């Protein structure tokens, strides 16, 4: 069990990044969903032991890892949001180096294990290329390979799907889902789909605070019957923005489509009821409808 | 610049770069340093090294505001400060954008590569041009405007030209060069480390080589080339305008004349900077939108970039891989990190660049070492190792600063830290791994220097390669310093947590060590690089100060442990929580850490205490210094110049225990009152001895020691002509260590002994020693002698009042040979000890003991005692001894003693002393002189020291001005004669050229006085006494003729032996006049060369040669732009006269001469007829007249 208690982080300025976050995360996948700058990465860094909090504690199975991060690192898999590698090493050499530093072993030997991991992140063909020649997505996959290596008790992945194409994203989902069966995985993302696909529970972050902790289905249920969708003209969209709570506005084949949150469930003229998505729920929450979720 | 360049975009880049740099703290720190330096110059605390003038009270002073002085100031300020800061700013300009990842966005705009690169460069350049302008303002403010009454005599009239011209000629080219080259390096390599190290390397090359390496034998063409390639221009300034001192009047009033070659070189320096930038722009443009070159091999082996689109087949689950993980052990982590660091290093171009530079710089200094009289030294493994150590540790330490910081920053710079910091590998493993990689850097540098040394020794071909000295010096002594320094850099990084602050801390610490070294304040505690502390001796390997040296190395290693522990504890594995600077400094945490470190500090504290104890009981310890100061204070007024009895006979039994560095003495002095007053008290100065017992005329005596002078009051006062015997016995031991090492002139060490009667350290000294207890703060102005100071009885400059007899019995270990003055009358082994008795067969003025394990080479009444390993020059040296004994005996006086010995002593000092019959030579004098048939240098130094048997011993000079010239000048003169007599005229001429050149280089024209008034107290007096004195005595010999001159000299020595009135130059010139055949010429010569200061300087112009019926007629105009009037030969010459007798000349030497007499500023047209076609005209071809810039008095036809 990972327990986070009253975590506060203030950056020079002073800029408050976390304002007393408390959270309990059990085995399995847990998502942190929030916009950029909400404090997700700050919390991930603190949990990973690479950033000192201003106050508060992080406990893993009763061990205070804030005070002794070195006790966490041997059982941690960590994929930061921003990272790099030694540019002059090949992908294979870099991963081997990291695995050795993490003390990872496998019956088939290090060389085979490196090859297997690279295969899982689809980097086998580029194993011999220098990391400096990798694309952004390839670097991300190499980061994923090192994070999932070993038998981490806690896996922290910060914006892991950034830069991945759809195919790779789904491959990664499968990897994470498998890993989450026997350990705690914390996934930080601003992509709602990541949470929708992977996380049975997640927390929504806004301005350094947890807005709510829920599950995707509960979040969707909380706004059931309150989402309406339809095609509108440009002037109509402008009018709706002024008078209604537009959760999403997007183009389909060149025409404006709009989704509106209507708490009273009465359909606005020209719009039809639709099943709520997790994105609707998230955007509603971001617009300040916290109470709705809590009620759910 | 590229086509289609937009001035607007270019100026935008310039403005952005300029504004950025002007806002950087480093720019203002540089200006602050400039301000401090200029302020230091203005108040005299910092001196321009080449200032002319007379430093004595009332002497002429050089203006700080003259164009010459300001050129020096601008040159140094620009090169030391501007070049470093400008190089760093320029080198990082493009790298910074890449690190900020701003490049891609910038280059997606219409901005061209040329606009970008040149804009960046001009922006940085403009910043530092503004800096130069502000420097100009600071100089005017401090040098002219701010009141400073102490420095009024160094301020001339304000002239803006004096400030502007040096800035344009020196400052601007330096800045353009530094900016351009560094910009090129940074832009092409994109490696910050190369940018940081480049200016350091430049500074070292200039400081340790280009500015300082000017041996007298350097070919003028090489010298000129070095002047022109020196980017600072300082060598040109030094060699062109200051090598020969032109006097304050010249420097204060004349503008600097910039010769064409130098102006072209300055333009060249600027062009190098601009071309470097241009090449960088081209490179940048080529690489901007490409991924760089792809080698054929790489192209074949690498998978195309589409690889990331390949979809991998579905595989088994992760669980099937069976992975387990456990944190790596310390050793495994260490091995992994070290391996990765080494791979990084292997791909680092810096290593391949810096190691050769270190080799070149280090060996350059070591190989070019020069000894006595500017003679090059023979290299031995030990001397090479020690001479290279200072440069090696300096350069490697600086390299380690940059490599360590870049290594520690690597994870952050590559973005890898966010993963790396959360890995379970320990900080200890990481630091140890990185340290090992740095160790490889160090060992690479040391290995490369060793290889270079081995090659140098092989090329030299005279000394074998023995690795042991290298292992001792570089392995046991240098490496602990490097280890400590590496740990210190790690600790600094752990505190600072960023690249620039770490640089600041470490370079400040390094600078503080340099400052302590320059101000002579380093000691065995803070001298971690051992700068100047080591003296290598093949005969005595670090026996002197060995305890302090060992403690120092242990102290350094214990500090390394403390720093390493601190670094491990504070190594930044996670970002701190700080909202202010103070918060970020974590003072509470640091203090807590320091508190917890106290047990770890115990070892270095104990070692430091042990070092302090060693120093405190040593010769420079507080107790010894207080005693010396008390001695000076209590006796100065009473005993200075007090009448003393003469030491007529000394009987001394000295038992030496070299292993314990102890000695025991029993003996007696016979003192005779040769004064014309009765002496009631007889003072003796004694050393730091134990168990002292005294007798007067056989009865036990107790001297008055209240003033630290041992004053004996005989029951019956000593009337003129009376005598008494003072008996003594005592023991002594060499305790403790010196304050900072660096050797000693007299010593007892397990492998050798040098003891003399010149001071009271080993034997009682009659009278008060004016040198004891005198330091800078209580040093008196030099004594002003009356013009007729030589009237009456002149006391001796050194040694006893009158020659004395000596009998010494020396007890040493059985394998030692102990040499004393006089004749060996017995030697026996008793109880495992050797007992040797020496007795003078003719009176002497001083005595000494030189002992060691010697081999012996004997000649005709001569003997050479030397270390068996140093036989390189012994044949030449014994030849010189034999020749000197024979010819000096013929020319000056028969040698009165039976044997003439030279004994070698360990090179804890580099001097030679001509004690009667027992000359002591350091290893570095003669024995390790690099001597070749054409240079005769071992012969030269042996001849000079042997000449002191006559000029110094038999003729004991008087105290006061010109006295020492009769010792040193006459010895040089004797050397010139002996070289010519034994080796031929050409070596004689070469020797005269050598001493003439030394005189020209080292004289201080404003402080120089006539030979008759030179007393050694003024700047430049040494070269006047030795070199000018030697040449002038030779010219006098040339003028008088050998027979008349030798007759006069023989009688002069005869007259002054056993004479209480010791001779000075006045006595010499009066005496020699009697032997002059042409008194008028003699008087004119003496008036010019002995009683005045003149030096001719000849120039040739309008030379042409035409064929005549009988041969060739050469006409030329000769001008004396110097002073003095001398007959001078002008020769039309063809062919060469090689110095090496085995070398065949390209063409036979022939010369047709004409003689003219030229006064100061006079010129004459000369016509020379010859039967051959000359190829050049030479003034004074046979080196018969001392002159300045002889090389300029030759013209090719």
Spatial CB neighbours of B397, under 8 Å, sequence gap ≥ 6: B481, B482, B485, B510, B529
Could you say which of B303, B325, B425 has the minimum Cβ distance to residue A125?
A: B303
Give the A window 208-247 contacts with B, CB below 8 Å: none
Residue B314 lies in a domain: no
| Pairing between β-strand B918-922 and β-strand B900-905 as defined by DSSP bridges | parallel
* Mean pLDDT value of segment A238-247: 87
Would you state the pLDDT for residue B1169?
A: 94
Q: Assess whether B1019 and B1078 both reside in one domain.
A: yes
The domain segmentation of chain A, as residue ranges, is 2-214, 220-295
Best probe of the B interface among A81, A88, A103, A107, by most B CBs < 10 A, is A103
Would you state the pLDDT for residue B311?
A: 43
Q: Assess whether B448 and B555 both reside in one domain.
A: yes
A70–B307 C-beta distance less than 8 A: no
Any CB–CB contact under 8 A between A7 and chain B? Answer: no
Could you say which of B319, B416, B422 has the minimum Cβ distance to residue A73?
A: B422
Q: Which of A227, A137, A65, A61 is nearest to B306 (CA)?
A: A137
Out of B599, B616, B633, a domain closes at B616
* Mean pLDDT value of segment B505-528: 89
B301–A89 C-beta distance less than 8 A: no
Interface A:B, Cβ pairs < 8 A: 171
Strand partners, B726: B669, B696
Distance CA A269, CA A253 (A): 22
DSSP state of B368: T
User: CA angle at residue B68 from B67 to B69, to 5 degrees?
Assistant: 95
Give, rounded to a whole angstrom, the gap between the first and last alpha carbons of chain A. Answer: 25
Q: Is the dihedral of CA B311, B312, B316, B319 positive or negative?
A: negative
CATH number of domain containing B849? 2.60.40.1730
Any CB–CB contact under 8 A between A120 and chain B? Answer: yes
B426–A100 C-beta distance less than 8 A: no
Spatial CB neighbours of B943, under 8 Å, sequence gap ≥ 6: B880, B883, B884, B974, B975, B978, B979
The half-sphere exposure of A210 on its side-chain side, counting CA atoms within 13 A, is 20
Distance CA B643, CA A272 (A): 129
Distance CA A58, CA B112 (A): 51
Give the nearest chain A residue to B583 (CA atoms).
Answer: A12
Q: Which pLDDT tens digit goes with each residue over B306-350?
A: 444 444 444 567 778 888 888 889 999 999 999 988 888 776 666
Q: Assess whether B346 and B452 both reside in one domain.
A: yes
Q: Which pLDDT tens digit goes with each residue over B439-491?
A: 988 998 899 999 999 998 888 888 888 999 999 999 999 999 999 999 999 99
Q: Are the C-beta atoms of B205 and B83 separated by less than 8 Å?
A: no
Residue B2 lies in a domain: no
What's the gap in Å between the CA of B337 and the closest CA on chain A? 8
Q: Assess whether B612 and B676 both reside in one domain.
A: no
Out of B228, B257, B289, a domain closes at B289
Distance CA B695, CA B689 (A): 16
Spatial CB neighbours of B940, under 8 Å, sequence gap ≥ 6: B373, B375, B975, B979, B991
Could you say which of B326, B418, B580 has the minimum Cβ distance to residue A83?
A: B418
Would you state the pLDDT for residue B698?
A: 92
Residue B223 has pLDDT above 90, yes or no: no
Would you state the pLDDT for residue B293?
A: 43
More confident residue, A36 or B611: B611
Q: Strands of B690-722 (E only): list them.
A: 690-696, 699-701, 710-712
B324–A150 C-beta distance less than 8 A: yes
Could you say which of B311, B418, B425 has the minimum Cβ distance to residue A50?
A: B418
- Strand, coil or helix: B1081: helix
Spell out a b/e string for A73-95, using b for 16 or more CB atoms within 10 Å of the CB, else e: bbbbbbbbbebbbbbbbbbbbbb
Distance CA B604, CA A211 (A): 57
Q: What are the chain A neighbours of B343 within 8 Å (beta carbons)?
A: 88-89
Distance CA B1071, CA B1078 (A): 14
Domain membership of residue B1190 as a residue range: 1098-1196
Q: Are the C-beta atoms of B457 and B381 separated by less than 8 Å?
A: yes
What's the gap in Å between the CA of B450 and the closest CA on chain A? 31
Q: Assess whether B1039 and B1134 both reside in one domain.
A: no
Distance CA B500, CA B505 (A): 9
B310–A50 C-beta distance less than 8 A: no
Spatial CB neighbours of B976, under 8 Å, sequence gap ≥ 6: B988, B991, B992, B995, B1030, B1031, B1034
Q: Which of A46, A53, A61 is nearest to A10 (CA)?
A: A53
Residue B42 lies in a domain: yes
Residue B894 has pLDDT above 80, yes or no: yes
Would you state the pLDDT for residue B292?
A: 43
Any CB–CB contact under 8 A between A271 and chain B? Answer: no
B322–A108 C-beta distance less than 8 A: yes
Q: Are the C-beta atoms of B349 and B194 separated by less than 8 Å?
A: yes
Q: Are the C-beta atoms of B955 and B783 separated by less than 8 Å?
A: no
Model confidence at B583, pLDDT cuts 50, 70, 90, reads: low
* Mean pLDDT value of segment B229-233: 90
The alpha helices in B930-1014, defined as continuous H runs, are 937-947, 965-983, 985-1002
Neighbours of B345 (CB within 10 A): 17
pTM: 0.79
B302–A86 C-beta distance less than 8 A: no
B347–A88 C-beta distance less than 8 A: yes
The half-sphere exposure of B480 on its side-chain side, counting CA atoms within 13 A, is 20
Model confidence at B734, pLDDT cuts 50, 70, 90, reads: very high
Q: Assess whether B727 and B809 both reside in one domain.
A: yes
Strand partners, A9: A18
In the numeric block, which tokens belong to residue B839?
């007795």
Helix (H) or strand (E) holding B849: strand B848-852
Give the B window 377-436 contacts with A, CB below 8 Å: 410, 414-416, 418-426
Residue B89 lies in a domain: yes
Q: Are the C-beta atoms of B329 and B355 separated by less than 8 Å?
A: no
Would you state the pLDDT for residue B622?
A: 87
Rounded to the nearest integer, the mean pLDDT of chain B is: 88
In the numeric block, which tokens belong to residue B304?
């195309």
Say yes or no: ipTM exceeds 0.95: no
Q: What are the chain B neighbours of A97 within 8 Å (beta carbons)?
A: 336, 340
Q: What are the chain A neighbours of B409 within 8 Å (beta carbons)?
A: none
Would you state the pLDDT for residue B306?
A: 43
Q: Assess whether B853 and B910 both reside in one domain.
A: yes
Model confidence at B959, pLDDT cuts 50, 70, 90, reads: very high
Model confidence at B925, pLDDT cuts 50, 70, 90, reads: confident
Best probe of the B interface among A8, A101, A125, by most B CBs < 10 A, is A101
CATH level 2 (architecture), domain A2-214: 3-Layer(aba) Sandwich (3.40)
Residue B189 lies in a domain: yes
A188, A190, A193, A196: CA torsion to nearest 10? 50
Any CB–CB contact under 8 A between A269 and chain B? Answer: no
A122–B310 C-beta distance less than 8 A: yes
Q: Assess whether B650 and B761 both reside in one domain.
A: yes
A87–B315 C-beta distance less than 8 A: no
Q: Which of A85-89, B440-444, B712-716, B884-888 has the highest mean pLDDT?
A: B884-888
B543, B548, B550, B554: CA torsion to nearest 10? -170
Model confidence at B587, pLDDT cuts 50, 70, 90, reads: confident
Best probe of the B interface among A86, A93, A128, by most B CBs < 10 A, is A86
The Cα diameter of chain A in Å comes to 66
Any CB–CB contact under 8 A between B152 and chain A? Answer: no
Spell out a b/e string for B827-840, using b for 16 or more CB atoms within 10 Å of the CB, else e: eeeeeeebbbbbbb
What's the gap in Å between the CA of A125 and the closest CA on chain B? 6
Residue B950 lies in a domain: no
Q: Assess whether B24 and B112 both reside in one domain.
A: yes
Out of B886, B913, B930, a domain closes at B930
Neighbours of A285 (CB within 10 A): 22
Q: Which of B525, B441, B529 is nearest to B484 (CA)?
A: B529
- Strand, coil or helix: A213: strand
Q: Is the dihedral of CA B466, B472, B473, B479 positive or negative?
A: positive
Any CB–CB contact under 8 A between B292 and chain A? Answer: no
Q: What are phi and psi of B705, to 5 degrees?
A: -115, 15
Distance CA A278, CA A219 (A): 7
Any CB–CB contact under 8 A between B326 and chain A? Answer: yes
In the numeric block, which tokens belong to residue A31?
């998502």
Give the nearest chain A residue to B302 (CA atoms).
Answer: A129
Any CB–CB contact under 8 A between B312 and chain A? Answer: yes
Q: Which pLDDT tens digit goes with each residue over B1055-1112?
A: 998 888 999 999 999 999 999 999 999 999 999 999 999 999 999 999 999 999 889 9
Model confidence at B303, pLDDT cuts 50, 70, 90, reads: very low
Q: What are phi and psi of A57, to 5 degrees?
A: -135, 150
Q: Is the dihedral of CA A71, A77, A82, A83 positive or negative?
A: positive
Q: Assess whether B1109 and B1045 both reside in one domain.
A: no
Would you state the pLDDT for residue B515?
A: 86
Q: Which of B657, B833, B818, B834 is nearest to B750 (CA)?
A: B657
* Mean pLDDT value of segment B637-645: 89
Q: Assess whether B533 and B647 both reside in one domain.
A: no
Q: What are the chain B neighbours of A180 within 8 Å (beta carbons)?
A: none
Q: Is B398 exposed, middle or buried (CB count within 10 Å of its CB: 0-12, 13-18, 19+)?
A: buried
Q: Assess whether B909 and B809 both reside in one domain.
A: yes
Report how many domains make up chain B: 5
Best probe of the A interface among B104, B295, B325, by most A CBs < 10 A, is B325
Q: What are the chain B neighbours of A86 within 8 Å (beta carbons)?
A: 340, 344, 410, 414, 416
| Pairing between β-strand B900-905 and β-strand B862-866 as defined by DSSP bridges | parallel
A12–B415 C-beta distance less than 8 A: no
């Amino acid at each position: 069990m990972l327990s986070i208690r009253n975590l506060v982080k203030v950056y020079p300025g002073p800029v408050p990044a976390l304002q007393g976050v408390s959270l309990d995360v059990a085995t399995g996948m847990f998502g942190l969903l929030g916009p950029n700058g909400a404090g997700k990465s700050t919390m991930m860094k603190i949990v990973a032991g690479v950033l000192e909090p201003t106050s508060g504690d992080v406990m893993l199975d009763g061990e205070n890892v804030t005070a002794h991060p070195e006790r966490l690192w041997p059982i941690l898999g960590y994929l930061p949001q921003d990272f790099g590698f030694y540019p002059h090493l090949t992908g294979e050499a870099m991963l081997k180096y990291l695995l050795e530093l993490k003390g990872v072993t496998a019956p088939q030997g290090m060389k085979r294990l490196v090859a297997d991991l690279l295969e899982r992140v689809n980097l086998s063909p580029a194993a011999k290329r220098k990391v400096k020649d990798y694309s952004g997505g390839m670097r991300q996959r190499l980061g994923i390979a090192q994070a999932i290596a070993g038998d981490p008790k806690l896996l922290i992945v910060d914006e892991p799907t950034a830069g991945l194409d759809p195919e790779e994203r789904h491959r990664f989902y499968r990897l994470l889902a498998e890993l989450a069966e026997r350990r705690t995985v914390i996934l930080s993302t601003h992509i709602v789909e990541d949470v929708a696909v992977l996380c049975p529970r997640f927390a929504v972050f806004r301005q350094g605070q947890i807005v709510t902790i829920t599950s995707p289905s509960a979040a969707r249920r909380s706004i059931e019957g309150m989402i309406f969708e339809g095609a509108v003209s440009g002037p109509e969209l402008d009018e709706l923005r002024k008078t209604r709570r537009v959760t999403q506005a997007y183009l389909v084949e060149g025409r404006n489509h709009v989704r509106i949150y209507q708490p009273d469930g009465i359909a606005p003229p020209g719009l039809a009821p639709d099943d709520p998505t997790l994105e609707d729920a998230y955007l509603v929450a971001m617009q300040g409808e916290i109470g709705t979720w809590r009620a759910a | 610049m590229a086509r289609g360049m937009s001035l607007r975009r270019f100026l935008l880049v310039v403005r952005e770069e300029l504004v950025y740099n002007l806002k950087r703290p480093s720019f203002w720190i540089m200006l602050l340093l400039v301000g401090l330096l200029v302020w230091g110059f203005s108040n005299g605390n910092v001196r321009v090294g080449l200032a002319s003038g007379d430093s004595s009270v009332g002497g002429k002073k050089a203006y700080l505001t003259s164009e010459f002085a300001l050129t020096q100031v601008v040159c140094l300020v620009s090169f030391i400060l501007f070049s470093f800061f400008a190089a760093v700013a320029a080198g990082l300009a493009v790298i910074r954008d890449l690190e900020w990842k701003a490049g891609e966005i910038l280059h997606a705009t219409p901005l061209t590569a040329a606009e970008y690169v040149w804009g960046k460069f001009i922006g940085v350049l403009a910043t530092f041009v503004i800096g130069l302008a502000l420097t100009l303002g600071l100089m005017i403010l401090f040098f002219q405007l701010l009141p400073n009454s102490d420095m009024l005599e160094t301020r001339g009239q304000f002239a803006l030209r004096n400030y502007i011209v040096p800035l344009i000629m020196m400052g601007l080219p330096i800045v353009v060069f530094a900016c351009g080259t560094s910009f090129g390096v940074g832009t092409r390599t994109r490696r910050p480390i190369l940018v940081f190290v480049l200016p350091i390397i430049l500074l070292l090359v200039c400081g340790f080589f280009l500015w300082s390496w000017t041996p007298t034998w350097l070919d003028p063409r090489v010298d000129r080339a070095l002047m022109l390639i020196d980017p600072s221009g300082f060598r040109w300034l030094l060699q062109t305008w200051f090598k020969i001192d032109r006097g304050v009047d010249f420097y204060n009033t004349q503008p600097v004349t910039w010769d064409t070659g130098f102006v072209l070189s300055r333009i060249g320096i600027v062009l190098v900077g601009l071309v470097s930038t241009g090449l960088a722009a081209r490179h940048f443009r080529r690489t901007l939108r490409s991924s760089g070159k792809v080698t054929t091999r790489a192209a074949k082996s690498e998978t195309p970039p589409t690889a990331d689109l390949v979809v991998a087949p579905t595989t088994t689950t992760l669980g099937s891989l069976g992975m387990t993980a456990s944190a790596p052990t310390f050793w495994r982590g260490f091995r992994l990190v070290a391996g990765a660091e080494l791979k990084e290093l292997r791909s680092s171009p810096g290593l391949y660049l810096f190691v050769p530079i270190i080799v070149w710089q280090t060996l350059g200094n070591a190989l070019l070492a020069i000894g006595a009289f500017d003679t090059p030294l023979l290299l031995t493994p030990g001397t090479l190792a020690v001479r290279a150590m200072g440069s090696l540790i300096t350069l490697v330490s600086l390299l380690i600063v940059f490599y360590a910081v870049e290594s520690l920053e690597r994870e952050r710079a590559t973005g890898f830290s966010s993963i790396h910091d959360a890995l379970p590998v320990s900080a200890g493993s990481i630091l140890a791994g990185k340290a090992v990689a740095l160790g490889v850097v160090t060992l690479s540098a040391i290995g490369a220097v060793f290889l270079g040394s081995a090659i140098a020794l092989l090329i030299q071909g005279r000394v074998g390669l023995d690795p042991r000295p290298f292992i001792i010096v570089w392995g046991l002594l240098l490496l602990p310093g490097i280890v400590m320094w590496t740990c210190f850099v790690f600790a600094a990084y752990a505190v600072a947590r960023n690249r620039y602050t770490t640089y600041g801390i470490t370079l400040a610490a390094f600078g503080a060590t340099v400052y302590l070294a320059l101000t002579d304040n380093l000691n065995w505690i803070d001298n971690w690089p051992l700068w100047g502390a080591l003296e290598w001796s093949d005969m005595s390997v670090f026996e002197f100060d060995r305890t302090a040296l060992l403690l120092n190395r242990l102290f350094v290693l214990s500090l390394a442990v403390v720093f390493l522990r601190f670094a491990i504890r504070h190594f930044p594995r996670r970002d701190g929580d700080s909202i202010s600077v103070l918060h970020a400094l974590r003072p509470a945490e640091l203090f807590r850490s320091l508190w917890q470190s106290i047990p770890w500090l115990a070892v270095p504290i104990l070692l430091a205490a042990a070092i302090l104890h060693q120093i405190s009981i040593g010769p420079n310890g507080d107790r010894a210094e207080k005693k010396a100061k008390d001695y000076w204070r209590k006796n100065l007024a009473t005993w200075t110049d007090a009448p003393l009895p003469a030491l007529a006979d000394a009987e001394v039994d000295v038992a030496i225990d070299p292993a314990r560095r102890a000695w025991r003495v029993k003996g007696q002095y016979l003192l005779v009152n040769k004064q014309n007053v009765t002496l009631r008290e007889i003072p003796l100065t004694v050393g730091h001895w134990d168990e002292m017992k005294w007798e007067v005329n056989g009865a036990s005596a107790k001297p008055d020691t209240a003033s630290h002078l041992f004053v004996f009051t005989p029951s019956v006062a000593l009337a003129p002509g009376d005598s008494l015997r003072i008996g003594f016995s005592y023991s002594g031991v060499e305790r403790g260590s010196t304050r900072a090492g660096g050797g000693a002139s007299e010593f007892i060490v397990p492998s050798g002994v040098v003891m003399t009667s010149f001071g009271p350290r080993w034997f009682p000294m009659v009278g008060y020693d004016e040198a004891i207890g005198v330091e800078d703060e209580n040093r008196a102005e030099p004594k002003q002698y009356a013009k007729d100071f030589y009237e009456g009885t002149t006391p001796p400059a050194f040694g006893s009042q009158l020659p004395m007899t000596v009998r010494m019995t020396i007890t040493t270990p059985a394998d030692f040979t102990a040499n004393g003055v006089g004749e060996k009358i017995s030697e026996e082994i008793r109880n495992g000890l050797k007992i040797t008795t020496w007795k003078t067969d003719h009176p002497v003025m001083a005595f000494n003991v030189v002992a060691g394990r010697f081999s012996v080479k004997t000649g005709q009444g001569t003997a050479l005692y030397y270390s068996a390993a140093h036989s390189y020059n012994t044949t030449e040296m014994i030849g010189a001894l034999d020749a000197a004994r024979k010819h000096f005996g013929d020319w000056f006086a028969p040698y009165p003693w039976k044997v003439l010995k030279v004994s070698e002593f360990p090179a804890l000092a580099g001097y030679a002393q001509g004690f009667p019959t027992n000359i002591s030579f350091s290893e570095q004098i003669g024995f390790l002189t690099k001597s070749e048939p054409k240079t005769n240098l071992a012969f030269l130094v042996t001849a000079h020291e042997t000449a002191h048997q006559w000029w110094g011993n038999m003729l004991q000079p008087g105290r006061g001005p010109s006295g020492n010239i009769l010792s040193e000048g006459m010895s040089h003169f004797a050397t010139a004669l002996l070289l010519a007599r034994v080796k031929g005229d050409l070596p004689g001429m070469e020797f005269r050229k050598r001493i003439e050149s030394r005189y020209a280089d080292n004289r201080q024209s404003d402080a120089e006085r006539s030979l008759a008034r030179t007393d050694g107290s003024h700047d430049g007096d040494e070269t006047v006494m030795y070199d000018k004195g030697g040449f002038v005595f030779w010219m006098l010999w040339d003028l008088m003729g050998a027979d008349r001159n030798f007759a006069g000299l023989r009688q002069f020595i005869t007259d002054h032996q056993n004479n209480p009135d010791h001779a000075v130059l006045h006595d010499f010139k009066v005496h020699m006049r009697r032997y002059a055949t042409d008194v008028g010429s003699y008087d004119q010569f003496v008036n010019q060369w002995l009683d005045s200061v003149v030096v001719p300087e000849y120039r040739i112009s309008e030379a042409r040669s035409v064929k005549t019926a009988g041969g060739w007629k050469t006409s030329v105009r000769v001008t004396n732009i110097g002073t003095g009037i001398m007959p001078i030969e002008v020769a039309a010459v063809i062919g060469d006269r090689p110095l090496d007798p085995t070398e065949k000349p390209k063409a036979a030497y022939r010369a047709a001469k004409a003689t003219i007499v030229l006064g100061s500023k006079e010129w004459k047209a000369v016509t020379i007829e010859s039967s051959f076609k000359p190829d050049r005209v030479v003034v004074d071809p046979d080196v018969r007249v001392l002159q300045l810039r002889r090389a300029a008095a030759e013209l090719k036809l």
